[in-house]
């Protein structure tokens, strides 16, 4: 399995939103090369310290992108296949790996095989491509048949990935994404409801084509090892930590996230050694800046994101503290159109980008923050400290979410001088105790000399 993700920082883009594409696709319209405009973002992405880009969905769809109509071609609202080739090449020129959305659980009603079923009913040669397709009842759309939908949304038709013809079609598409476009990995949408045997086949197929191909799945609940293991996926979305990352700050309760991190990554943790995909924002949730009443809390939030075990990800616009909440049948606030030059002015904390840039640099400088062990040292309502250790490099992270500086003392195994790699300066550990005055709404990253 590939392990380069341990050393990466991800940037996440929802392109149909960022580029202001029409909400509905006109399948008769000529392509519009909106994706080309994202090349201007790549130096910004790299400048933040991000070395991997998760972008998607990208392929031809009816509306939001997760209602696929054609797996083999770029959505015409974003451009042509040549546009995508140029974009991936531009990413690689800057040292940015590219991961796309793989939406394999379901398709849209405009998917070509489902259109054939709608036209020919039980006589369609594609009737077995879809799960629980029945001709003794009607669908909510009035079709002369019913079918299984994703999560009760009948505009999303569940594929029968056990059908060999379906597998051949999907795996063939992925082969073209790797060979024709040069992608480096996939994020699997709704991975928790996809047949595990298909996931194993997909993983083996991808790794046979590109041994360091990295695959992570969208998982909300359950034991992550069921999906992330040597036979299946490399990683999953760390929703288990997601809520605690922000609510521990909103509620002045670091005990919440401390409990989660112990469960996941302490010496006897469930996911030790697993590069979980960590995030505080994504395209399906309210913007975290709208969840926190005080913008200053975004700084200790991102400090924890970049120093805890796992792989950090930044959702486009969050580096400036963009606000936004999901509305009924409207996700445009969390998937807004942004012009790069205007981005800082759209956010509530434009200075956050500089803090993220420094945190990414710090993570790159300290291998213990990327791959080291995890040990909790101190937890209080608004202060939290832990140790990361790798091959003799010992790093102590201290966080302070309070409005005033706070003294934090933690037990350490090394006396003598420690340097603050985040803020500069040094201090001494005496008698197995390391004491530091931690800045308000920020933290210290202390490295043993």
Residues paired with 146 in a beta bridge: 134
Residues paired with 60 in a beta bridge: 70
Name the band, by pLDDT with cuts 50, 70 and 90, for residue 328.
confident
Q: Under a CB-based contact definition with an 8 Å cutoff, are residues 84 and 90 in contact?
A: no
Return the half-sphere exposure (C-beta side, CA atoms, 13 A cut-off) of residue 289. 22
Q: Which two tokens stand for residue 444?
A: 């210290």
Examine the pLDDT at 28 and tell me if it is beyond 70. Answer: yes
Task: Count CB atoms within 10 A of the CB of residue 184.
Answer: 22
Mean pLDDT (the chain, rounded):
97
Q: Under a CB-based contact definition with an 8 Å cutoff, are residues 289 and 321 in contact?
A: yes
Burial (CB count <10 Å: 0-12, 13-18, 19+), residue 216: buried
Which domains are present in the chain? 4-106+161-369 (3.20.20.80), 107-160 (3.90.400.10), 372-448 (2.60.40.1180)
Residue 274 has what pLDDT?
97
d(CA 57, CA 74): 9
pLDDT in tens, 206-225: 999 999 999 999 999 999 99
Residues paired with 13 in a beta bridge: 55
Examine the pLDDT at 68 and tell me if it is beyond 80. Answer: yes
Q: E strands, 341-405, where?
A: 373-379, 383-390, 393-400
d(CA 148, CA 160): 10
Q: Which two tokens stand for residue 255?
A: 């005990």
Task: Count CB atoms within 10 A of the CB of residue 125.
Answer: 11
Name the band, by pLDDT with cuts 50, 70 and 90, for residue 329.
confident
Name the band, by pLDDT with cuts 50, 70 and 90, for residue 337.
very high
Q: How far is CA 88 from the centre of its chain?
A: 18
Nearest to 383 by CA among 402, 363, 358, 356: 402
Q: What percent of the chain clears pLDDT 90, i.e. is strictly above it?
A: 99
Q: Under a CB-based contact definition with an 8 Å cutoff, are residues 88 and 182 in contact?
A: yes
Residues paired with 100 in a beta bridge: 55, 186
Examine the pLDDT at 1 and tell me if it is beyond 80. Answer: no
pLDDT in tens, 113-167: 999 999 999 999 999 999 999 999 999 999 999 999 999 999 999 999 999 999 9
């Amino acid at each position: 399995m590939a392990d380069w993700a341990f050393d990466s920082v991800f940037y996440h883009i929802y392109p149909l939103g960022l580029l202001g594409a029409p909400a509905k696709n006109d399948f008769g319209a000529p392509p519009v090369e909106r994706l080309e405009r994202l090349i201007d973002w790549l130096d910004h992405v790299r400048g933040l310290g991000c070395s991997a880009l998760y972008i998607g969905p990208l392929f031809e769809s009816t509306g939001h992108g997760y209602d696929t109509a054609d797996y083999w071609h770029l959505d015409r609202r974003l451009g042509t296949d040549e546009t995508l080739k140029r974009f991936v090449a531009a990413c690689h020129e800057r040292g940015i790996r590219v991961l796309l959305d793989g939406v394999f659980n379901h398709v849209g009603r405009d998917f070509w095989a489902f259109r054939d079923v709608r036209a020919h009913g039980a006589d369609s040669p594609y009737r077995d491509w879809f799960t629980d397709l029945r001709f003794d009842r009607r669908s909510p759309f009035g079709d002369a048949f019913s079918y299984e939908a994703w999560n009760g949304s009948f505009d999303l038709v569940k594929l029968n990935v056990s059908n060999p013809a379906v597998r051949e079609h999907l795996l063939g598409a992925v082969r073209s994404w790797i060979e024709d476009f040069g992608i480096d990995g996939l994020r699997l949408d709704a991975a928790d409801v996809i047949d595990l045997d298909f996931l194993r086949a997909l993983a083996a197929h991808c790794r046979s084509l590109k041994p360091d191909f990295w695959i992570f799945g969208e998982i909300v609940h359950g034991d992550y090892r069921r999906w992330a293991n040597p036979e299946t996926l490399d990683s999953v979305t760390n929703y288990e930590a997601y809520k605690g990352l922000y609510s521990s700050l909103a509620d002045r309760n670091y005990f919440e996230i401390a409990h989660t991190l112990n469960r996941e990554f302490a010496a006897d943790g469930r996911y030790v050694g697993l590069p979980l995909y960590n995030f505080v924002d994504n395209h399906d949730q309210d913007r975290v800046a709208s969840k926190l009443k005080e913008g200053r809390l975004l700084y200790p939030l991102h400090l924890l994101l970049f120093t805890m075990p796992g792989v950090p990800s930044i959702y486009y616009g969050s580096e400036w503290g963009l606000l936004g909440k999901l509305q009924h049948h409207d996700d445009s606030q969390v998937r807004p159109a942004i012009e790069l030059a205007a981005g800082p002015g759209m956010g509530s904390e434009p200075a956050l980008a500089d803090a993220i840039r420094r945190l990414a640099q710090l993570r790159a400088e300290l291998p213990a923050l990327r791959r080291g062990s995890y040990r909790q040292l101190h937890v209080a309502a608004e202060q939290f400290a832990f140790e990361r250790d790798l091959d003799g490099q010992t790093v102590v992270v201290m966080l302070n979410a309070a409005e005033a500086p706070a003294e934090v003392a933690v037990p350490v195994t090394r006396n003598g001088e420690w340097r603050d790699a985040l803020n500069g300066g040094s201090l001494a550990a005496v008698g197995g105790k390391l004491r530091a005055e931690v800045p308000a709404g920020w933290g210290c990253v202390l490295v043993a000399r």
